[in-house]
């Protein structure tokens, strides 16, 4: 899987975790194990179709996976791998930030007697 997909999956995971209803769905799957759409809709105070949409997004983010069409019931189960992906992406981001901050501090020390145009461009404003 190319690194670009890692980023997009991490972002999808973040977007998925942002919504409280989706977090409730994940909590429910973690609490009582795999469940189907109507199953979850009965436990949450929202309609079945709303649950289906959210499960679709969660599946697209890789946080859950359909167990396959076993007869008529389509149970979904948690998929911890997606969280790990997002986690490592976050770790890389933090690392990058640390590096940049250190580099900028070094540059600030070096330019203390040579005030170059390191600052932001002070260009003209267009009316």
Residues near DNA (CB under 7 A) are: 18-19, 21-22, 36-39, 45-50, 52-54, 57, 71-75, 125
The values of phi and psi at residue 47, to 5°, are -75, 165
Taking CB under 8 A as the rule, which mask of x and - marks residues 68-107 in contact with its own copies? ----------x-x--xx-xx--xx-xx-xxx-xx--x---
Nearer to its own copies, 52 or 78 (CB): 78
Question: Of residues 71, 72, 113, 125, which one binds its own copies by CB under 8 A?
Answer: 125
Half-sphere exposure of 9 (CA within 13 A, CB side): 19
Q: How far is CA 65 from the centre of its chain?
A: 16
How far, CA to CA in Å, does 65 sit from each of 13, 40, 69, 114, 120? Answer: 14, 15, 11, 58, 47
Taking CB under 8 A as the rule, which mask of x and - marks residues 31-50 in contact with its own copies? xxx-x---x--xx-------
Give the separation between CA 59 and CA 78, rounded to whole angstroms: 9
Token duo for residue 110? 């070096």
Where does this chain bind its own copies (CB under 8 A)? 11, 14-15, 17-18, 30-33, 35, 39, 42-43, 78, 80, 83-84, 86-87, 90-91, 93-94, 96-98, 100-101, 104, 120-121, 123, 125
């Amino acid at each position: 899987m190319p690194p670009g997909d890692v980023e997009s999956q991490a972002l999808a995971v973040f977007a998925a975790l942002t919504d409280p209803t989706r977090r409730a769905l994940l909590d429910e799957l973690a609490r009582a194990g795999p469940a189907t759409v109507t199953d979850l809709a009965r436990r949450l105070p929202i309609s079945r179709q709303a649950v289906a949409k959210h499960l679709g997004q969660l599946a697209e983010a890789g946080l859950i996976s359909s167990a396959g069409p076993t007869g008529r019931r389509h149970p979904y189960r948690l998929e911890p791998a997606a969280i790990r992906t997002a986690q490592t992406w976050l770790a890389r981001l933090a690392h990058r930030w640390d590096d940049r901050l250190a580099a900028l501090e070094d540059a600030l020390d070096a330019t203390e007697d040579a005030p170059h145009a390191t600052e932001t461009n002070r260009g003209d404003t267009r009316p």
